[in-house]
Chains A and B, each alone.
Chain A
Amino acid sequence: MSFSVRDGKFDVLVVAGPRVVQWPSVGVRALARTCADAGLTVGLIGGDTLFARGVAPLPGTGAWVIAEDAQGRVHRLHGRAVVKLAALSSRPDPFPGAWSEGLLPLTTALWLARDERFVFAPATAILGSGNGALRFGSRLLERGVSEVMCIESHTQWSSKRFAGWEVERRRFEMAGGKLIEARPLSLTRQGPVKIEFRLEDARGIRVLEVARVVSAGPFAPGPGVREFPPGSSLFELDQTAPNLPGEDIEGHQLEEDRALLLASRIVRRLRSELGDEERERVERIARRSKSAVRRQEAHREEPFLVAYQGKWTAPADAKRIRSFSGVPRTVEFQKKTASVECFETIGCRECQRVCPVDAIQFGKEGRILDEQACTACGFCLGACPSGATLMIDEREGRSSVELTLAWRGDHLWKTGELATLVNRRGEVLGSARVTGIIALLGQEAGGMPVPTSVPAPVQLVQLAVPGHLAWEARGLRRPRSAALPGDSGMTAYASGGLEGRVEVTLNGEKRLVRDKVNLTRALFETGWNRAGDSLACPDGSCGLCSVTVDGVKRLACRTRVHPRMAIKLEAPAYGTPAPLSSALCPCLGISREQVVEKIRQGDLRSPDAVVSVTGVGSGRCHGALCCEPLRRVLDESGIDARDWIDWRFPWVDWKLVPGERE
């Protein structure tokens, strides 16, 4: 057996890092297009056909990128500039027990919370205090969980400048949630829904007994584009667009603008002999993208809490609205649905008249919506003369909700524009981006006729609205400034459809699990929330979720449930955590204290030296568990890790395939 090795040469190589989804992402496409337009050769390494196996930086600038294609041939590609697309991390700070059973990642918890039978009561602790954590906590409290705590280990409240964070915090605290500044010490599972959770706060050590511990961090945003070392032309670009454009248009815009800015930087560095016209074009791209990035980052980071003061719907009114018969009850996780929020006892029945499927009826209490029948055609929006009807598409876990509002202004909206959101009283709430134009209704537009009393045409504008504004924002107008806050960066997940349950054997016991779902999810449903299952690596390369299925060793994340399968779970695949201290690298059992001691002993000043001396990241998880915690330890030790890119040969196995030696 041998490798076929082929050499290649590119000006720019764009490499997919571990756990990157959506390849090529919007940023990669923009970067490749801009560089190629400037006459540079660009290679993309990622996706299903070409796998990056590692990067060997060269002295000076550039690097060798080792890649393997689908036929098993190994390519050694020289890039004058290399860009690594890095997935955003969502792992919390480690502590003893953090990798044991019982700790649920937020994505998993969101998914499990859909099932009412899954117990979070009487108490649940959430590690992290970002928007996602607070929103999940609020939801648990609404569901009847009596005690929910959001725990932050090293509190930097001033850095919690995510759009809407103050709002989420207030809602969480008003619902009865607690924010605790404490350091998790240990987690001991004492029963199926009983976990002993030790914390250390300013007053000392306290012990909580909780049903679940959910991890939901970190949230500190990074710089987005890094070069390490300066002048090396080795860049790292954060993937802020892991979802579809409709799900997170802010992330898409930001990644694209950052990529354009980076592309212009690369072009200027690699092509010194640019002509005047071409140079002007690159400069223009740089200027535009720079201002756009600045605007986007301000949009993501700047809080707009002042504008919210006193503008919320009163809880009693909100309850009345949500329980109104014209408002969809099961809108979450279902589909886009009309919401007829007309509480007037008047004889106007325009919405009922235009509805092609008779989904809107009139009863004693006013309008009644048959949300199952509603096809979200939007005709009722165009017909309503007072704009009391809208469409809402709210999916659990998404950072934003899609509202469709009627617009009768002179200037029509275009996709991608920023709009100012207003509440029912016309007060400014914040900003949202137009994600699409659903329709242009009206006689002049040749579409659905609207009542003659209503000025036409009517534009149905779809907006990506921060989730916490979904039931507050009911109007839009053009902003005075483009730099408006928004909400993004929270965890999203795709929900799977419910299917029939089948019988499987789990460690010798019969269990009913959903058919044809991922085995990882099936295990979660049966209560086996193993830490290794939570990594969600895209290709099973982490190897941490191994199980024995029908006598054959397999990876749970790559195996689908089928009837009568025999599953045997073994001891956790990762190493034993360091017993007395916080495990930074659980695979190798390296503690945080050991790393700090090595840094002190060697007076280490660079992240590379720390990695080299401690060996953190050399374990089975390929750095997936320890990279971000290590970054934080470096930060605490005074080592500047902001520009650190781990260029080690990472994350996947090389398979040996027959091939001719070249």
Chain B
Amino acid sequence: MRPDSEFVLLGTGLAPLVTAAELLAAGRRVVLINPEPDFFAEDSEFPLDPLVAADVVSDPAAALRRLVRSSPERALSVLRPGFPGAVESWPTEPHATGAGGLRRDPTAPHVRARSRLWLRPARAVDWPSFEDFYLSSLDAGLKPQLAEGLAAVRRFPGASGRSGLGAQTEARGLLVPRLADVDVNRYRYGLLEFVRERLGPEGLLCGATQIGFIPDGVRFHFEGRARTVQIRDSALVFWTPRLTTWVLGQAKRFEVPQLLPPGIRFWDQWTLRSREALDPATVGVFEEMTVWGELEGAPDAAGTDLLTVLRPGGGVAPGSWSQGLLAPPIASGESIQSLSRICGDLLAWNGFSVRAHRARMVFDWESWSSQGPQDRILSEASPRIELLGGADGALVDVVERARQVAGRLA
């Protein structure tokens, strides 16, 4: 066990890894502690910004802001620096090995550039809002398109190439081309492997329990033994929902006033298997659900048959954290009805196979503060303990924020 370190990072997701990589690059000593047995057990990063779908009608300005931030160029500029290897962009053609004779690394994480298609029934009362959004996104240079009928429906994931869509063709669509989403798994595990090699088994500890701060250090149990790490500079706690109980306990211990957990947004992530190959080139938004063809790496000619449906499952207001977790609004009847509307009403499937369901939760930082995630100081005394928000959500935002934290500290 290394006896001391400049920084101790405590978290369950990608943010502490990015920060650790940056601090290591700056020559600082780091110990990374994760209370989960698997580093990404919480799975708090999304490949794309899930809030765009809901905000178009309720908060078009915020949605536009999010869309502008979702460009592949920005994603590449955020993700490439500091990543130990290539971060590829999605080839436009299947089996394309590269543009201009450049070879692409097939095992690298990819930043995909997919169109985003909002599909609404032709007589939807909220369609004028989409038209307004079309104009504002046109002004923002996003090159949106409006489509009607079969031309719109057929671009929806799961509907491409299908006949017999029938009445579903009475629809309108708003299409915004080239928005980014990321190979979350490859990016996370690539970085994890790199950081683990740098830190070694004594510097990156998964499955730590009974974590508590002591003067000048942190004490915890790891592999059945109590361990202590001395902290020279500060401890950074990356706050994600799984750490909330522990964070609140620490806040009480250090007598931090008015530290309430932010609200939580729950998401149902359903994975369905299509009977036919899906065209992965578009991410569809139907009602409040975001739908895309699941694919890792570059697309191949066979396409994919896994359809992911991400549906907001309600939320828990700030302060009602403990009650909310007892009966979280996941896998609800409404959620299943929504699946039915996608697969039956829209895609005209005669049946669908649910391959997996994951209940995901992220903090609703906007309900906490109008300025988004903010940092708090748990303790100024040695060790200095910072509580950092924004460690969950869209992967690009998480990486950007973690890098900002590291830049400030390094």
Contact = CB atoms under 8 A, between A and B. Distances in A.
Interface string B38-64: 111101000000000000000000000
B340 A2 contact: yes
Contact of A605 (B207, B273, B350): B207
Contacts of A118: none
Given A59-B325, A622-B353, A7 B271 contact: no
Interface stretch (A341-349, A500-508, A647-655): A647-655
Given A56-B357, A601-B189, A613-B189, 4 more contacts: A5-B336, A602-B40, A603-B206, A654-B353
Contacts of A334: none
A662 B355 contact: no
Interface string B180-222: 0000010001101100100000000011000000000000000
A603 B196 contact: yes
A69 to B, nearest CB: 14
Contacts of A56: 330-331, 357, 359
Contacts, number: 110
Nearest to B327: A58
B273 A618 contact: yes
A521 interface: no
Contacts of B190: 601
A66 B336 contact: yes
A602 B190 CA distance: 8
Interface string B305-327: 01000000000000000000111
A609 B359 contact: no
A606 interface: yes
B188 to A, nearest CB: 8
Contacts of B353: 622, 652-654
Given A1-B340, A618-B273, A653-B353, A602 B333 contact: no
Contacts of B273: 618, 620
Interface string B370-401: 00000000000000000000000000000000
Contacts of A58: 327-328
25 contacts: A1-B344, A2-B341, A2-B344, A3-B333, A3-B336, A7-B333, A53-B354, A58-B328, A59-B325, A60-B325, A64-B330, A66-B336, A74-B336, A601-B190, A602-B40, A603-B38, A606-B38, A608-B38, A609-B38, A609-B40, A615-B296, A648-B355, A653-B353, A654-B353, A662-B333
Interface residues of A, number: 40
Given A620-B273, A648-B355, A656 B350 contact: yes
A598 B328 CA distance: 31
A321 interface: no
A2 B334 CA distance: 11
Contacts of B40: 602, 609
A5 B341 CA distance: 13
B337 A649 contact: no
A655 B350 contact: yes
Given A2-B344, A76-B336, A605-B37, A648 B356 contact: yes
A627 to B, nearest CB: 13
Contact of B356 (A53, A66, A606, A618): A618
Nearest to B306: A618
Contacts of A3: 333, 336-337, 340
A453 interface: no
Nearest to A64: B331
Contacts of A193: none
A661 interface: yes
B159 to A, nearest CB: 15
Given A602-B40, A603-B196, A604-B38, A618 B355 contact: yes
A656 B341 CA distance: 10
Contacts of B43: 612
Interface residues of B, number: 44
B352 interface: yes
B349 interface: yes
> Which 6 pairs show the lowest CB-CB distances between chains A and B?
A5-B333, A1-B344, A609-B38, A649-B354, A656-B344, A653-B351
A466 interface: no
Interface in A264-278: none
B340 A609 contact: no
B345 interface: yes
Given A60-B326, A653-B351, A66 B206 contact: no
* Residue from B193, B352, B355, B359 whose CB has the most chain A CB atoms within 10 Å: B355
A54 interface: yes
B343 interface: yes
B331 A601 contact: no
Interface string A37-74: 00000000000000001101011100010100000001
Contact of B39 (A6, A602, A653, A655): A602
A654 B38 CA distance: 32
Interface string A354-395: 000000000000000000000000000000000000000000
Nearest to A576: B302
A79 to B, nearest CB: 13
B187 to A, nearest CB: 12
* Residue from B271, B332, B337 whose CB has the most chain A CB atoms within 10 Å: B337
A2 B350 contact: no
Interface string B354-372: 1111010000000000000
Contacts of A64: 330-331
B324 to A, nearest CB: 10
A16 B331 CA distance: 20
A1 B352 contact: no
A606 B192 contact: no
Contacts of A76: 331-333, 336
B192 A602 contact: yes
Contacts of A654: 351-354
Interface string A624-662: 000000000000000000000000110011111000011
A648 B207 contact: no
Contacts of A605: 37-38, 206-207
A59 B266 CA distance: 13
A108 B270 CA distance: 37
Nearest to B355: A618
B297 to A, nearest CB: 12
Interface in B43-96: 43
A609 to B, nearest CB: 4
Contacts of B271: 618
B72 to A, nearest CB: 24
A177 B326 CA distance: 60
* Residue from B38, B40, B196, B337 whose CB has the most chain A CB atoms within 10 Å: B38
Interface string A1-43: 1110111000000000000000000000000000000000000
A278 B276 CA distance: 56
A620 B296 CA distance: 18
Interface in A583-606: 598, 601-606
Contacts of B355: 618, 622, 648-649
B355 to A, nearest CB: 5
Nearest to B41: A609
Contacts of A662: 333
Contacts of B336: 3, 5, 66, 74, 76
Nearest to A78: B327
A620 B276 CA distance: 12
Contacts of A656: 340, 343-344, 349-352
B306 A603 contact: no
Contacts of A655: 350-351
A613 B185 contact: yes
Contacts of A59: 325-326, 328
Interface in B119-172: none
B83 to A, nearest CB: 15
* Residue from B327, B343, B353 whose CB has the most chain A CB atoms within 10 Å: B353
A602 B189 contact: yes
Nearest to B341: A2
B272 to A, nearest CB: 9
Contacts of A7: 333
B357 A54 contact: yes
